[in-house]
Structure 1
Amino acid sequence: MSLDPTARRRRPGRSRAAGWLVAAVTLFAAVLALPGTASAAGHGHVTHPQLDWAGSTVRAHEGGGHGEPVVPATTQTPGMDVSAYQGDVDWSTAWNNGARFAYVKATESTTYTNPYFAQQYNGSYNVGMIRGAYHFATPDTSGGATQADYFVGHGGGWSADGRTLPPALDIEYNPYGATCYGLSQSAMVGWIAAFSDEVHARTGRYPVIYTTTDWWTSCTGNYGGFASANPLWIARYSTGPGTLPAGWGYQTFWQYADSGTLPGDQDYFNGAYDRLQALATG
């Protein structure tokens, strides 16, 4: 049986279209595989940054109790940390309830800024608190230095006014997928180092590192090389801060609960108020 001539002409056209489609899909996949793109190191996407804050992943992974812990024998200065999740904060009430410092989420990845940042960062300062800004890290969406630049450019700065804490890096369980963001332990150490070095270059201060001992051990191999420069902000919802990551002999801050008498998460600075002022002054 002879073939329809128009059918013979259509088949090559369909084949060429299919070839172009395959080529386009292949090219798109290759672009996504490049380092620093959204799919690199664990297919990172930031879809709910308003629900990510310092400690938002801790209870699900490590559990822990609510409320006031047993306070260590050394003097502790109470404070708090907040994010967009708290919205507008009543800072006068927080001050009257004992808070003397606050960390405020400024940014996440290179695409999100806290819409309540000004109210929280300036409001805490205006009632007399010592305040600082923190960045929620997503190491699978861009490099450490890139995120540090975004952070410093959107609230993560520092000034030697005695009222501004060093910028802080919140590095914890991935709220979007693989615990360690698809990075090897050595790659994670490199990412943190790049962030830390860039913050120092931009502000003159090495950032405080917020983490948990479990996450740090799993995702950095319990690397101890940051302790000499970076103050530790440990998260542990229990009666004490527990065993600390390698290198740190003590914590500078301890997030001991995710609810309590103050808005947001409950924290202690490990020392008297004048030592907190000294940390802020640099």
Structure 2
Amino acid sequence: MTGAARLAGAFALAVAGLGSTAAAVPHPDGVAPAPRDPGPSVHGMDVSGHQGEVDWRGAWSSGARFAYVKATEGTGFRSSTYRAQSSGARAVGMLRGAYHFGRPDVSGAAEQARFFVNHGGGWVPDGRTLPGVLDIEYNPYGPDDCYGLGPARMSQWIAEFSDTYRGLTGRFPAIYTTRNWWNTCTGGNTGFAENNPLWVARYGPEVGQLPAGWAQHTMWQHDNGGTFPGDQNLFNGKMAALKRFAAGTPRQRAAAERS
């Protein structure tokens, strides 16, 4: 999967869009430095239609243990490669999940959350499915990075998506974003950190400062090319922790069964 990478000032703010259809902007030095030892972590990847047919067995052999696959965007786009990519990741033993590229400029959040769940983005407590992700970031389709919404309206939109997704699946979605976008477009809203796992995008050797509210990240997208197809990611913890993240808590599993 490729994304819309933006160089917001210094190299430390170089980021990549998880769901944009725009071509990736090259890293300023050609290749991003390898991340410094982040401690216990699990390697993973994320892909979309840009990758097409993926060599999942090769990615597994190279060390990838989880994958996120683009499923939907707005309420009018379904990835034609989602089913094959998701099945391919699962077949080789990866934990896998789906992500939705949010478009606050085209429709309501609840509508988009339902569209996502109905087309691959749901979560089931099978121990192999990761919770869905809301990819909310720079607008690749227009000049307004915040899709024409002020911080209060943007925060409300994200909260509505999150609450709707939870009501449908029993899990809060993870949020993929960058520090710069989040702090600008939500006004640094700190109210999501308690419930929504953070998937932070930051290309560089260290994860750096996180978006407002989060004291730690769950996943880190540190490069848009490298060992595996698509974007390169690290889960913040050991494999046992990643499996617990997929399985959910007893309360989350019970909520999923009721939904």
TM-score, length of structure 2 as denominator length: 0.86
Matched, 1:121 2:68: no
1:1-282 to 2 correspondences below 5 Å: 56-61=3-8, 62-63=13-14, 66-67=31-32, 69-177=34-142, 178-282=144-248
Contact 2:35–2:222, Cα closer than 8 Å, also in 1: no
Alpha-carbon distance in structure 2 between the residues aligned to 1:234 and 1:164: 20
Q: Which runs of 5+ in 1 are unaligned?
A: 1-52
Contact 1:209–1:230, Cα closer than 8 Å, also in 2: yes
Q: Deviations over 1:128-167 (max 9, x none)?
A: 0000000001100001111000000000011111111000
Q: Deviations over 1:183-202 (max 9, x none)?
A: 00000000000000000000
Which has the higher Rg, Structure 1 or Structure 2? 1
Alignment partner, residue 256 of structure 2: none
Alpha-carbon distance in structure 2 between the residues aligned to 1:68 and 1:77: 18
Q: Report percent identity of matched pairs.
A: 52
Greater fraction helix:
1
Alpha-carbon distance in structure 2 between the residues aligned to 1:246 and 1:189: 13
Alpha-carbon distance in structure 1 between the residues aligned to 2:108 and 2:84: 29
Q: Deviations over 1:11-49 (max 9, x none)?
A: xxxxxxxxxxxxxxxxxxxxxxxxxxxxxxxxxxxxxxx
Tell me the SS of whatever aligns to 2:71. Answer: strand
Q: Which runs of 5+ in 2 are unaligned?
A: 15-26, 249-259
Contact 1:144–1:194, Cα closer than 8 Å, also in 2: yes
Contact 2:43–2:63, Cα closer than 8 Å, also in 1: yes
Alpha-carbon distance in structure 2 between the residues aligned to 1:264 and 1:69: 16
Tell me the SS of whatever aligns to 1:57. Answer: coil
Q: Deviations over 1:72-93 (max 9, x none)?
A: 4421100000000000111000
Alpha-carbon distance in structure 2 between the residues aligned to 1:248 and 1:254: 13
Alpha-carbon distance in structure 2 between the residues aligned to 1:145 and 1:245: 24
Alpha-carbon distance in structure 2 between the residues aligned to 1:275 and 1:68: 26
Alpha-carbon distance in structure 2 between the residues aligned to 1:245 and 1:73: 18
Tell me the SS of whatever aligns to 1:154. Answer: helix
Contact 1:68–1:260, Cα closer than 8 Å, also in 2: no
Amino acid at match of 2:89: S
How many angstroms does 1:98 deviate by? 0.5
Alpha-carbon distance in structure 1 between the residues aligned to 2:230 and 2:114: 26
How many angstroms does 1:246 deviate by? 1.5
Amino acid at match of 1:58: A
